Structure formats: structure tokens, C-alpha cells
Amino acid sequence: MLYALAAASGVLLTLSFPKFGHPAFAWIALTPLLVAVTRGRRAFFLGLTTGLVYFTGTLYWITRVMAVYGGLQGWVAVLVNAALIAYLALFPAFFAAIVRRLRTAIGDRALVAAPFVWVASELGRTHLFTGFPWVLLGYSQVTVLPIAQFASVFGVYGVSALVASVSAAAAAIVVHRTRDGRAYARIVAPVAVVLLTIAIWGARRASRAEWTHDGDPVRIGLVQGNVEQGEKTDASRAAAIFEDHLRLTRQAIGAGAEFVLWSESSLPFWFDEDPASAAVVRALARQARVPILVGSDEVEWRVDGTRRVPDKMYNSAFLVRSDGATAGVYRKMHLVPFGEYVPLRNLLFFAAPLVEAIGTGFVAGQDPTVLPVDVHGVHRLSVAICYEVVYPALVRRFVLGGSELLTTITNDAWFGRTSAPYQHFAQASMRAIEEGRYLVRAANTGISGIVDPYGRVLARSAIYQPAVIVGEARYPRTSTFYARHGDVLAYASAVATAVLLLASMRRVQ
């Protein structure tokens, strides 16, 4: 029975996220696990069960990526994905074990601390071993705008804490089973007051939408080339892919775009290594007086005897100014494990075909470079490439560095028609609320779109079709509490969890 409750939490967590889920499930997702933890002693394994179901249901698509594009046999791809899921499941396991330990020390009052322990576990998942902060609980509410506004104060972790608090209150009601209405009121009232206050404030904030009138406007053009992953390395398709991007760019410019974005690795050549093709892009920018952001691999060379050989490979974004010159280059800092590099290569010997498919892998960039764009004066923008956009602290570094516009370029062709493109877009949208900036996203196969500083999706494309999106964004000059102060709630939760855990150990002794 207890493991069934733990598995139920895993199912509810899975159903909290797109494309199959609904935000409502998130509010009670942790309740079955918390009830099980208060009734049983194997809390770690109960949490592990929740985690295994949770991450299997939300990250199932990784197996496809490794089998189709990594060259792994199906069973090996399943094994590698299972290892990742098992690792991630450790965080809900430790969450459950800590809550159980606190309950042993202080009784059912430990449920009050559960939201903070959960946030501490999410913070750990974000940072340990380079991190994998996919489908954090708070992301489930990005489309519930009154609640999502709380991210402008405490980030996605703040929303996670809020959602988890409702699960904890529901668990406390189940555990107490009292007929005393006042006891229920003591449990429900504080959470209800906080939730209602935040919802009213958030609804008012989103409806006023003051920052949608702040800063210079700019017409953004997003080019979605819709190139299948298998076609990107097909030399016979290179010319057609390039021509399609030029055609879609001219279409965007014709519709009034003042700044055009192509997706990650959009070019079928290396931008700095094919002067003739790069010259075409530069000429288009110069003739239209429109800057163009293009994603391309970038190579640094070294001399080996009498030959030049590739030394380092970067996943980069080049910003071409309206006069055709290069305004700057951003190199991706957070690489995708098992996609752009293989961690623990020697240990994961069974993933040899994946290592061979990736080759030597990419090298991470070192600087959160902010690029100048010359539209309506000189403004500064940031580029998060693909997976980077799920790291709140990195995007915050861009804003602290002066970014007035968040851009993200990605190639989600790897994911096929799974849940991943929808999860990815939702997580990117949360960055706009956190930072109080417009976010514009160009995705090779979708979802491309424009999101305002309150999380409203102003335009978006469907997946797996060529598309051009032209819409207005702005360069706001204001900033949110979160942009100024960062993950203070998350780190406070981690400290509080450590203090409570130490205190509980002394009390039990």
C-alpha cells in the first residue's frame, strides 16, 4: 500500500507537465508520498519509487535520442537512460528520508518543513555534477499566470515551494483524521491565506502588465527551418537548407522584422569557415539593414607539424550586425550530457558507440557574453543555447551583465514528437517572468515563440513545420526582485533543511 502511494505521487508529478499533463495535478502530487512517509519506515525507498516513476514518465524521450542519434543499441539506450533516471530519483528519495527523520524527531509538524526540503532537493539537482534541472515542480505552473508571477520574486523554486506547501497541507489533513474543525483550520488557513494573497497579487501584476510598455520596441522575426536531424549532416541537402533559411528570412523581413533569429546549429556549414556562404548572410543583413543571429558550430584550430587541425569545438551563436559585420559571438557554457559530451567516459564503457558518435565532444564556453544589437540605438541581448535556458542562475547572469532581451535558440529535432519540445518551451517561458524580460525563441523544428515579461505567449509555432513568426518585443529597463537577488529562497531552504536535520539528529539521540 505504501509503495502504491509513492508510485501515485510519481504518476501525479508526471501528469503535472506537458504535453500530456495539466497544472492542477501538481498541487496534490506530493501528498500520497508524504502520507506514506508518515506511515512507513522505508522512506528512502518510498521516495526512490516516486522518483523512478516521475522521471521515467517525463524523461522517457532520452532513450529515443540515444538510440536514434547516438548509435546505441536499443537495450543500451534504455540502460543509459535508466542510469540517469535512477540518479535523479535519489533526490526525491533523500527528500522523503529527511522528512521522515524530521517527523521522528518532532512529529507531524515536520510536514510544515516539507516544501523547503523539496526545494533544497531541487537546488541540489540543479547544481550537483553539472546539474539536470528538468521538470522542476514550479515549471508546472508557468501557464497559470497569477501563480507564475511569484517567480519574479523567488524564481521557479519559489513556485515549487508554493505548490509543495499545498501537498503538505493536504497530507497533514489525511494524517490527522480529526473531527475537530479548528484543527483543520489551523492546517489549511495559513497555506490558503498565502496562496490566495499570491494569486490576487499575481493576477493584478499580470493584468497591469506595466513592463509591456517599457523600453524601446523591436519587431522580431523567428525563422523555423524544420530540418530533420538526419538531414543536417547530409551534404546533398546543405544548399537547399541554406536557401530555405534565406527565403524564410526574406519573408520575415518583408513582414516587418527588424531583427531575425535562426535556430541552434541552423547553418549547414561552419560560419567562420565558409566565407562564401557567410558572405551571403552578411550581404542580406546589410541590404535589409537587419541584424541576424545565427547558430553555428565554431572551431578553434591548432598547428600540428605542417597541418592545421581542429583543436576545440564550440556550440556558438554569431550576431551579424545590420552592416554585415560580426557584432559578437556567444559560446554555449552548459553542455548537454550524452548529447554534446559524455560524462564519466571511462566508467560508462558500455556507451562506447555514443562516445564515437559524439567524437571528442564540444568544449564549454567560459563567459556569459552579452551581445550588442543595433536596432533603435544600441541595446544588449543574451543568447541561451538549447538546454542552457533551464538554468535560472545562468540567465540571471546575463541580465546582471546588461541583457535587455532574452533570446534562446535550440534544435529540438532530437526529441521527435515527444513531450520534450513542450517541456522545453514551458521552462524557457519561466525565465521571462523571473527576469522581467521578453524572451524570444527560435527552434529548428519548434516550438518557436515570443513570451512577454509576465509569461504570456504572444506567438508560438507548431512543431515539425516550417514557420516564420514576426512579432513585437521590447527592451525593458526595469528588473525583478529575483533578477536582483537570485535564489535566496532556494539557498535559505537548503540551509534550513541542514539545520533542521542536524537538530533532529541531536533530538533523537
Check if the beta carbon of residue 399 is closer than 8 Å to that of residue 483. yes
Q: Which residues pair with 472 in a beta bridge?
A: 219
Angle at 335 between CA 330 and CA 339, to 5 degrees: 125
Sheet holding 371-374, edge to edge: 371-374, 378-385, 405-410, 439-443, 449-451, 457-460
| C-alpha cell, 273 | 569557415
Measured in whole angstroms, how far is the alpha carbon of residue 235 from the centre of its chain? 32
Does residue 232 carry a catalytic annotation?
no
- Are 108 and 399 within 8 A, CB to CB? no
Residues 62, 338: Cα–Cα separation, whole Å = 9
C-alpha 468/C-alpha 465 separation (Å) is 10
With residue 219 as reference, give the H or E element that holds it.
Answer: strand 216-224
Task: Please identify which of the residues 298, 332, 404, 435 carries the catalytic annotation.
Answer: 332
Q: SS3 of 306, please?
A: coil
How far is 236 from 252, CA to CA, in rounded Å? 26
SS3 letters across 323-351: CCCEEEEEECCCCCECCCECCCCCCCHHH
Q: 441: part of which helix (H) or strand (E)?
A: strand 439-443
Catalytic residue among 122, 232, 340, 386: 386
- CA 162/CA 150 separation, integer angstroms: 9
H-state helical runs in 60-110: 61-68, 74-106
Alpha carbon separation from 238 to 234, 245, 392, 463 (Å, rounded): 7, 11, 35, 21
- Please name which of 457, 454, 450 lies closest in space to residue 473, comparing C-alpha atoms: 450
- To the query of whether residue 258 is one of the catalytic residues in this protein, the response is no
Alpha helices (H) in 107-235, listed in sequence order: 114-127, 145-148, 151-176, 181-208, 229-232
- Looking up cell 522528512 gives 99
- The grid coordinates listed for 471 are 512579432
Q: Helix 151-176 crosses helix 488-508 at what angle (to 10 degrees)?
A: 30
Catalytic residue among 258, 264, 298, 340: 264
Task: Report the amino acid identity of residue 323.
Answer: D
What phi and psi, each to the nearest 5 degrees, are found at residue 341? -160, 160
Please give, one letter per residue, the 3-state secondary structure of 266-283: CCCCCHHHCHHHHHHHHH
Q: Degrees (nearest 5) of the Cα angle 85, 90, 95? A: 135
Known active-site residue 298:
no
Positions marked catalytic = 264, 332, 386
